[in-house]
A and B are shown apart, each in its own frame.
Chain A
Amino acid sequence: MTRPSDRDGIFQAIRRALANLPERTPLPDYDEALPIAWNRLSEGDLWQAFARNFQAVHGRLLHSVDALKVFLREGGYREGYCDPALRGVVGEPLVAAGLTVHFEYRREDCERYAFGITRATAAVAETGSLVLDDEHTADRLAALSPWVHVGVLHPTEIHRSVGEALAALGDSVNTIWCTGPSKTADIEGILIKGVHGPGEEICLSLEAVPALDSRR
């Protein structure tokens, strides 16, 4: 464990080093819009920009539970987990379509879940990212261990840019942005999806989902 003297020693070393500086760089004032890549937002509305940018990172945007049913059936993803808060809107219709859906995530069964459906907090148009906040994610593992992750959100829940999404972090203890499926290019620079996390990242935008209260 740290000895109090180590903390003091490091601070003293820093102050000693800085005392010798001939001058100190001031904090530059800059326009927050400067890091925005406007070309990624140029055409259409925010959802069109999101769809384009999300697709560019191999994500998939769906607008109905029916479309999700088709995707899961065609991919052979027959068993998975669904956040109980989304039971009525997404889970039950999938059960009715003949899929096996669990509403409790059991770690020991993690290999059985081909898909995991959780509430997403927002989308980021500029980068094609899904925002998952611990507070609204039923289980971190449910969004991570299945091959297919489906983040469900309301169409009003979208940020324009990285800067806006950062400003919305508020006092969230733990938030993750998922910009497409899990990826690696470690072996000879060849892109492989689904290294540890999902190989398919899906955003399901539904009017029927009650919007989260953004004023936490």
Chain B
Amino acid sequence: MTEPIDAFAAAQSISRRDAVVHSAALTTEQRSHILRRDYEDPDALRRLAGRIKQHTLDHLDHYLEQAVSTLEKNGVHVHFAPTAEAACRIVLGILQKAGARSVVKSKSMVSEEIHLNDYLARHGITSLETDLGEFIVQIDGDTPSHIVRPIIHKRRDEVARSFEAHGLGAYDDDPETITRRARRHLRRHYLASDAGITGANFLSAESGRLVIVTNEGNARFCMAPNRLHIALLGLEKIVPRDRDLSLFLNLLARSATAQQLTVYTQFIRGPRAPSQPSGPDTMHLVLLDNGRTEILGTSCREILRCIRCGACQNVCPVYRQASGHAYRTVYGGPVGAVLSPLLAGPEFSAYADLPRASTLCGACQEVCPVDIPIPELLLRLRAKGKGAGIIGPDAPPMQAFGAVATSPGLWRLGLKVSKTMNLFPAKWVPWKPLQQWLRLRTLPRWEGGVFRAWMRNRQNGSRRRPSPDPDNKS
């Protein structure tokens, strides 16, 4: 038996792994470069942004109320969805009431989380993804494997074959040709659709301003020709004031794609102004809970600061090897290893392997634009799993180790005996659970006892200078 995430990672093709490793490593490098070039102390900005988000979450009742009352004053219809199912039902209700049969959609992690497209399709409404990566995922019947780059796992030849199979032109793997074909295809749908659905990145409580960023301009295009706009938002996406957006927009673009600002940054307070001929007359905002309020009061609440930049995915050695699909949920990588088991609620045990699939190297926290202590949260979730009696399939029982480690005599003996391990391959260890554990791990050469010997030879410890190193003759 192996952990589910290991099984996924092992089954992945080398070309897919290479694609993910290459792209993730490059973005990580570029992110670090742009932050260091533009700011003297980027870490101070990350910590500040983390405190602002934590403050907002700690006062979410106040800010949510403020945001909603401002939005409603601006003519936005605000809906509250306690569950994914409720959110889908609300969206369907709005569309049915408007007589909409087809919608265009820009990228939204919340819509992935609630599986909106499938739900709408079951009720006879076609929902077309317009972000290039999401469009490719949709025609392939695939799922996104990265928060910002949905097709980080695909190579151009795979995309070209999909386009060919879906009647979007003869095989051509030139990314520019692929993009032009998508442009032509999607444009027809923008203009012929009945409604536009988008996600949103931030909501300012002060002004009720919804901020939506895209590089492709597809969110703008989903709205401009349509009379109906539905925005989906996790209720944790609030920031207190407009002025705070400067910090968050600057950090989001640099962390996600190493840009100083995402190309199209939209600030929306309601339906179009009367003088503007294009754009929605009606705007709905669906605020999704779906387990978030459950997390809010727990020791893992910091995860709700997340602004979905994907930097932790790019930097994570486990994500790079396993890719997003190995996390079996919408949110992969370190953020997903925390968020997915929590959002799963009663299904926690199905994702309890995710917090264990980490080396706890801490790189995710170092790049997080809102300074989420992800390694700490992973440990808390491991403890939660252990408390619920969930252990990994290859975890050796620790009682024997506990007995040895708490008895100095046994420990000394163990150190001596264990030296013999250097003489034999690890797989010969005559104990099945340990053999199992060693299948996926390589032990370093056994050096047990060196420190104790050094301590013993040291005379009166800290008061004397250490004896000169005999190997260093200078």
Contacts A1-B93, A2-B81, A174-B273 given; does A21 touch B297 at CB 8 Å: yes
Question: With contacts A40-B38, A127-B261 known, is A192 near B175, CB below 8 A?
Answer: yes
The answer to whether A96 has its CB under 8 Å from any CB of chain B is no
Residues of B within 8 A of A110 (CB): 187, 191
Known: A14-B60, A172-B269. A197 touches B132 (CB 8 A): no
State whether the Cβ of A215 lies closer than 8 Å to any Cβ in chain B: no
Stretch at the interface among B243-251, B335-343, B419-427, B464-472: B243-251
- B217 CB → nearest A CB, Å: 3
In this assembly, does A210 line the interface, its C-beta being within 8 Å of a C-beta of chain B? no
Cβ A167 vs Cβ B86 within 8 A: no
Give bound CA distance, A140 to B196, whole Å.
15
Q: Is B130 an interface residue (CB 8 A)?
A: yes
A28-B48 in contact (CB<8A): yes
Of the candidate stretches B110-118, B220-228, B374-382, B410-418, the one touching chain A is B220-228
On chain B, the number of residues with a Cβ less than 8 Å from chain A's Cβ atoms is 104
**The one of A11, A28, A178, A186 that contacts B133, using a Cβ cutoff of 8 Å:** A186
Closest to B250 in A: A35
Set of chain A residues within 8 Å of B80, measured between Cβ atoms:
2, 6-7, 9-10
Q: Does A157 contact B (CB under 8 A)?
A: no
User: Pick the contact of B297 from A18, A161, A196 — CB < 8 Å?
Assistant: A18
Among the listed B48, B221, B261, B268, which residue makes an inter-chain contact with A144, where contact means beta carbons less than 8 Å apart?
B221
B108 to chain A, nearest CB (A): 16
- A196:B82 contact, CB within 8 angstroms: no
Chain B residues numbered 203-233 whose CB sits less than 8 Å from any CB in chain A: 207, 209, 215-218, 220-221, 223-225
* Smallest CB gap from B260: residue in A: A127
Residue of A nearest to B35 (CB): A37
The answer to whether B273 and A14 have CB atoms under 8 Å apart is: no
Q: A195, B264: Cβ atoms under 8 Å? A: no
Query: A18-B60, A190-B175 known; A40 and B247 CB under 8 Å?
Result: no
- Closest-CB distance, B201 to chain A (whole angstroms): 13
- Contact present for A182 and B224 (CB under 8 Å): no
Task: Considering the complex, give the chain B residue whose CB is closest to the CB of A9.
Answer: B82
The residue in chain A whose Cβ has the minimal distance to the Cβ of B27 is: A189
A40–B38 CA distance with the chains assembled, in angstroms = 8
Is A129 on the interface with B (CB-CB < 8 A)?
A: yes
Q: For window 76-100 of chain B, which residues contact chain A by CB distance below 8 Å?
A: 78-82, 86, 90, 93-94
Complex contact A16–B297 (CB within 8 A): yes
Kindly state whether residue B296 has any CB partner on chain A within 8 Å.
Answer: yes
Contacts of A11 in B (CB 8 A): 61, 64-65
22 A-B pairs (CB sep. < 8 Å): A1-B93, A10-B82, A11-B61, A11-B65, A14-B296, A24-B59, A27-B52, A30-B48, A34-B48, A40-B260, A134-B279, A173-B271, A174-B267, A175-B266, A177-B266, A179-B260, A186-B132, A188-B23, A192-B179, A196-B130, A196-B183, A197-B220
Sort A-B residue pairs by CB-CB distance and give the 10 closest, nearest first. A17-B297, A197-B217, A37-B38, A13-B293, A186-B133, A17-B296, A24-B58, A195-B216, A2-B79, A182-B217
